[in-house]
């Protein structure tokens, strides 16, 4: 992608080393981070630019993974110091995981600076960085056509006022079941989604892991199950991949309509399932559009 070209999708978030142990295997310092998974998925459908920060220890081969996927990396800052490192262990059921360490390193001082070429990008994904930084990104952008925001318990607990302000500025908030209940105080996920809509977004997307996801607007709801996986190798990044598949598809289609949202949810679901079939972004980096479209077509045939 030319450095002067405006991406269809801009993704802002963490780029990290992940050390992951599952019942299948253990791997050290794989390419990880929310922005990595989201960008790899979005780039399957649309021109994508990534904004993040890495340390001096971030290998050239990981930059090459992004570039071979068609991701513009001019927004990926390299700073003196070490790259963000997360380490975790998954239990046998693959649903529960234990974090061993979270070393923020250069990510602790991340100040996202949006390249000039990115500022008019029509589709934006704000991964779960601090709400003040998410707002800082929005302040640098021309108003995007569609913005997706992710968050997590840390920001709900510690910076709720800032979080509420930035939620009111976006089109879609995506959270998992626990985060939805925590944010809204509602036990029912439908009531939680309605309360999220009252906070300002046009859409609330609640991810339910192996039980799929649903997308609610003021007058509609779309529900998709998960793609049935016989074997899960590593579920790390599946939710971020889901967001990337969704936003990349919407960017490729150009309009946010009910039909396009449904198509985007299907693509997001099958793309996230591919992530679970290998460690890190390994399955995404070798995924072809033909494979993806065949699985998406099979998935649509499963739906009522």
pLDDT at 185: 97
Of all residues in the chain, what percent are helix, strand and coil, respectively (each to 5)? 40, 25, 35
Query: To which H or E segment does residue 72 belong?
Result: strand 71-78
Residue 102 maps to a domain = no
Q: Is the pLDDT of residue 173 over 70?
A: yes
Task: Please check whether residue 51 is in contact with residue 112, taking contact to mean a CB–CB distance below 8 angstroms.
Answer: yes
Residue 199 maps to a domain = yes
Per residue in 195-204, pLDDT (tens digit) is: 999 999 999 9
Q: Is the pLDDT of residue 141 over 90?
A: yes
Q: Is the pLDDT of residue 191 over 60?
A: yes
Q: What is the pTM of this model?
A: 0.95
Widest Cα–Cα separation across the chain = 53
Instruction: Kindly report the average pLDDT of the chain as a whole number.
Output: 95
**What is the average per-residue pLDDT within 68-83?**
97
Q: Please tell me the total count of domains within the chain.
A: 1
pLDDT band at 5 (very low <50, low <70, confident <90, very high): confident
pLDDT band at 210 (very low <50, low <70, confident <90, very high): confident
Domain that includes residue 254, residue range: 9-14+37-51+118-302
Choose among 144, 141, 135: nearest CA to 167.
135
Per residue in 220-237, pLDDT (tens digit) is: 999 999 999 988 999 999
pLDDT band at 4 (very low <50, low <70, confident <90, very high): low
Residue 255 maps to a domain = yes
Please state, in angstroms and rounded to a whole number, the distance separating the CA atoms of residues 153 and 136. 20
**What is the average per-residue pLDDT within 247-252?**
98
Share of the chain above pLDDT 90, in %: 91
Q: Is the pLDDT of residue 99 over 80?
A: yes
Per residue in 10-62, pLDDT (tens digit) is: 999 999 999 999 998 999 999 999 999 999 999 999 999 999 999 999 999 99
Phi–psi pair at 95, nearest 5 degrees: -90, -30
pLDDT at 36: 98
pLDDT band at 95 (very low <50, low <70, confident <90, very high): confident
pLDDT band at 262 (very low <50, low <70, confident <90, very high): very high
Per residue in 280-291, pLDDT (tens digit) is: 999 999 999 999
Per residue in 142-159, pLDDT (tens digit) is: 999 999 999 999 999 999
Residue 3 maps to a domain = no
Share of the chain above pLDDT 70, in %: 99
**What is the average per-residue pLDDT within 122-128?**
97
Residue 112 maps to a domain = no
Q: Is the dihedral of CA 227, 229, 190, 166 positive or negative?
A: negative
Residue 296 maps to a domain = yes
Residue 58 maps to a domain = no
The distance from CA 32 to its chain's CA centroid, rounded to whole angstroms, is 12
pLDDT band at 96 (very low <50, low <70, confident <90, very high): confident
Residue 4: which residues within 8 A CB-CB, separation 6 or more?
Answer: 117
Residue 92 maps to a domain = no
Q: Is the pLDDT of residue 2 over 70?
A: no
The residue to which tokens 């991701």 are assigned: 71
Q: Is the pLDDT of residue 1 over 50?
A: no
CA atoms within 13 A on the CB side of 108: 9
Domain harbouring 297, CATH code: 3.40.1190.20
């Amino acid at each position: 992608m030319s450095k002067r070209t405006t991406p269809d999708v801009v993704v802002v978030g963490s780029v990290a080393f992940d050390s992951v142990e599952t019942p299948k295997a253990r791997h050290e310092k794989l390419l990880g981070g929310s922005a990595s998974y989201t960008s790899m998925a979005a780039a399957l459908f649309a021109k994508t630019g990534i904004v993040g920060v890495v340390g001096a220890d971030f290998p050239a081969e990981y930059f090459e993974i992004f570039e071979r996927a068609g991701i513009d990396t001019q927004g990926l800052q390299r700073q003196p110091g070490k790259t963000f490192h997360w380490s975790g262990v998954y239990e046998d059921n693959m649903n529960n995981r234990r974090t061993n360490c979270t070393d923020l390193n250069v990510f602790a001082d991340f100040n996202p600076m949006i390249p000039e070429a990115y500022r008019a990008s029509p589709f934006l994904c704000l991964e779960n960085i601090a709400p003040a930084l998410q707002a800082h990104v929005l302040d640098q952008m021309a108003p995007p056509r569609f913005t997706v925001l992710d968050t997590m318990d840390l920001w709900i607990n510690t910076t709720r006022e800032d979080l509420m302000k930035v939620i009111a500025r976006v089109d879609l908030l995506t959270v998992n079941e626990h985060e939805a209940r925590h944010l809204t105080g509602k036990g029912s996920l439908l009531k939680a989604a309605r309360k999220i809509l009252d906070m300002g977004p046009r859409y609330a997307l609640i991810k339910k892991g192996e039980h799929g996801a649903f997308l609610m607007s003021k007058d509609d709801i779309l529900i998709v199950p998960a793609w049935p996986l016989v074997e899960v190798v590593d579920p790390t990044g599946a939710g971020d991949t889901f967001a990337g598949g969704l936003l990349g598809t919407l960017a490729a289609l150009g309009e946010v309509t009910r039909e396009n949202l449904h198509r985007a949810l299907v693509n997001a679901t099958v793309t996230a399932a591919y992530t679970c079939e290998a460690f890190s972004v390994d399955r995404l980096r070798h995924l072809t559009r033909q494979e993806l479209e065949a699985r998406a077509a099979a998935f649509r045939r499963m739906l009522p």
